[in-house]
Amino acid sequence: MNWWEQIIRFFYQRSLNAKLQSTTDTSKIINLKDAKTVGIMYNSTQPDNDIIITKFAEHLRAAGKTVEILGYINDTKTERKVDITVFNKKSLTWCGVPTDEKALAFAEKNFDLLLACFIGENLPLEYLSCISKARWRVGAYYPGKTNCYDMMVNVGDRQEVQYFLDQASDFLNKINYDTATA
């Protein structure tokens, strides 16, 4: 990492830490069966991800869940996609913090479950996950990012969104808890 990237990371982390000081932890474990509202964030830069996420969202809706989708596009030109709320690099501060009203409103929603469906580092989506008011946040394991999620799924060398969704769904379906205390 060069010196400019280190400066950007420093101010990104500083902004995130300041935001986190004013938030309270709302984590509460939930399984996929009991989740009524699901938020899905993903990297919409790769067009294949749009199809995968849309199919998964339709599957959840068919199961009676309310689903909202937010995609991040790593360019400055694409501002909208059909049936998907998106934001892009134009709506970031110079250090990568999202300023888009739709993206920030998405993070403010009290989803039962938030699925961060991206593999590897993605600072804008990580920021939104960290500040999210979702009850239970699930994302792919990435070293040093454990503060972003309540549950992380290690996808190993399989860097595919579909594999992450399959693994996360499997784990979320296996969660058992006393519903009287959850």
What's the start-to-end Cα distance of the chain, in Å? 43
Average pLDDT over residues 99-120: 95
Q: In this structure, how many other beta carbons lie within 10 angstroms of the beta carbon of residue 38? A: 22
Residue 147 lies in a domain: yes
Residue 154 lies in a domain: yes
Residues 6+ apart with CB under 8 A from 76: 88, 89, 90
pTM for this prediction? 0.89
Q: Write out the residue range of the structural domain in which residue 134 sits.
A: 37-173
Domain count, the chain: 1
12 and 95 Cβ atoms separated by less than 8 Å? yes
pLDDT at 177: 77
Average pLDDT over residues 73-80: 84
pLDDT of 113 above 80: yes
Residue 75 lies in a domain: yes
What DSSP string runs through 110-132?
--SEEEEE--S--HHHHHHHHH-
Residue 157 lies in a domain: yes
Number of helices followed by number of strands (H, E) in the chain: 5, 6
pLDDT at 80: 77
Residue 153 lies in a domain: yes
Give tens-digit pLDDT for 115-164. 999 998 899 999 999 999 999 999 999 888 888 899 999 998 898 999 99
Considering only CA atoms, which of 9, 63, 12, 14 is closest in space to residue 37? 63
pLDDT at 181: 55
SS3 9: helix
Residue in the block written with tokens 């379906």? 173
Residue 155 lies in a domain: yes
Considering only CA atoms, which of 96, 127, 132, 104 is closest in space to residue 9? 96
Structure tokens at 15: 């902004």
Residue 22 lies in a domain: no
Alpha-carbon distance 146 to 38, whole Å? 21
CATH number for the domain harbouring residue 41: 3.40.50.2000
Residue 137 lies in a domain: yes
Give tens-digit pLDDT for 10-50. 888 888 888 877 777 778 889 999 999 999 999 999 889 99
